[in-house]
Amino acid sequence: MTDGNWAWVQISKDTFPQIVGKPRYLEDKKTCGVDVKLEPKKTYVIWLNSPPYTSFTDTDGHKAVPYLLVFQTR
């Protein structure tokens, strides 16, 4: 994946976690991570690469497939 290119897309402020770090790719160049602050008993919704925000790309410029991530904290 191309470093510096990512698209963490929020549906609403209420369901998007607070980002406290800078996104980064791990050494495998396939795994992207970011530090966030989460609240208890809350559902989070994050789109990865959801149009029109499609910055996740590989080194050849191919866009990653959009992915919806939904999770809930205890």
> Hey, which residues does 10 pair with through a beta bridge?
46
Task: Check residue 56 and give its pLDDT.
Answer: 92
* Residue 74 confidence (pLDDT) above 90: yes
- The answer to whether the beta carbons of residues 33 and 26 sit under 8 Å apart is yes
List the chain domain ranges. 8-72
C-alpha span between 46 and 3 (Å, rounded): 20
Its pTM stands at: 0.85
Q: Which residue from 64, 53, 74, 70 is spatially nearest to 31, judged by alpha carbons?
A: 64
Q: Is 14 helix (H, G, I), strand (E, B) or coil?
A: helix
Specify the higher pLDDT residue, 73 or 1. 73
pLDDT digits (tens, 9 = 90+) for 4-59: 888 999 999 999 999 998 999 899 988 899 999 999 999 999 999 999 999 999 88
- The predicted structure's pLDDT at residue 57: 92
